[in-house]
């Protein structure tokens, strides 16, 4: 069965500092991987996605993520965090073109110090 | 496109009442998903449709929950009768092949 883990429940960084949020997955085939962000009281917004090709993908709001098959990881990064990045971040797997369910990780809450 | 539209945004109802949540997916998207989010359980997939056909409803918690998609532009999630433990935020999402787009959610409170 497919699963997604996000080892960090809560991360606090200072504004301007770099950020890396970890995501590990378990999946039987080539994964379709996603990162979503959820601000308080809002729905989930797609930050970026990986299907194939270049393992470093760029997303919105200055975020990027790197797919590492050998480590079953898809970590999210940002070189300089802004106060407005404080939110909950979810890593997810699927669905592929053959219609598997989305599986979300438990989320990582990001706090940003001024 | 206005994105995925859900209504109502907030719903407060008494235990035992019927609740209907509504969703309008993004035009052209062939997948529609209903999720429930709670602090305790996180995001749970309840059911999803492909081309208006329910594909997997294994996440629907009980027979009290039902979902329909009568056409490509509308879906409902119904809870009858509602219970306090159904209180949560319910999200609808739609997708074309992959990469789902979420609505703003409906916050349901059952008292």
* Cβ of residue B56 closer than 8 Å to a chain A Cβ: yes
Residue A19: exposure state from Cβ atoms within 10 A (0-12, 13-18, ≥19) = middle
Contact assignment for B55 to A99 by CB distance below 8 Å: yes
| pLDDT tens digits, B62-109 | 899 999 999 999 999 999 999 999 999 999 999 886 678 899 999 999
| Six token digits for residue A103 | 């599986």
Higher pLDDT, A13 or A29: A13
Taking Cα atoms as reference points, which of A67, A34, A24, A74 lies closest to residue B102?
Answer: A34
Q: Check if the beta carbon of residue B90 is closer than 8 Å to that of residue B35.
A: yes
CA B50/CA B62 separation, integer angstroms: 22
Contact assignment for B101 to A32 by CB distance below 8 Å: no
List, in sequence order, every residue forming a beta bridge with B101; answer none if it has no partner: B94
Contact assignment for A96 to B98 by CB distance below 8 Å: yes
- Listed by number, the residues of chain A in 25-64 with a beta carbon closer than 8 Å to a beta carbon of chain B are 32, 34, 36, 42-46, 49, 51
| pLDDT tens digits, A78-102 | 999 999 999 999 999 876 654 456 7
* Cβ of residue A94 closer than 8 Å to a chain B Cβ: yes
Taking Cα atoms as reference points, which of A66, A62, A63, A70 lies closest to residue A23?
Answer: A66
């Amino acid at each position: 069965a497919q699963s997604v883990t996000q080892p960090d429940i809560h991360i606090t960084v200072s504004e301007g500092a770099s950020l890396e949020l970890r995501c590990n997955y378990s999946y039987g085939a080539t994964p379709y991987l996603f990162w979503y962000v959820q601000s308080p009281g809002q729905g989930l917004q797609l930050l970026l996605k990986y299907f194939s090709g270049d393992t470093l993908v760029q997303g919105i709001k200055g975020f990027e993520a790197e797919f590492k098959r050998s480590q079953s990881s898809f970590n999210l990064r940002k070189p300089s965090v802004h106060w407005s990045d404080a939110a909950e971040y979810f890593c997810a797997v699927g669905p592929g073109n053959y219609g598997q369910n989305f599986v979300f990780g438990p989320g990582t809450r990001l706090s940003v110090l001024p | 496109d206005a994105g995925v539209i859900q209504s109502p945004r907030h719903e407060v109802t008494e235990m035992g009442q019927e609740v209907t949540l509504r969703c309008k997916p993004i035009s052209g998207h062939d997948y529609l998903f209903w999720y429930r989010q709670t602090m305790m359980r996180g995001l749970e997939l309840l059911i999803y449709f492909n081309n208006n056909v329910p594909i997997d409803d294994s996440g629907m918690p009980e027979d009290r929950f039902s979902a329909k998609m009568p056409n490509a532009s509308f879906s409902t999630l119904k809870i009858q009768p509602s219970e306090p433990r159904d209180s949560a935020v319910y999200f609808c999402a739609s997708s074309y092949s992959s990469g789902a787009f979420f609505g703003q959610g409906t916050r349901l409170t059952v008292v």
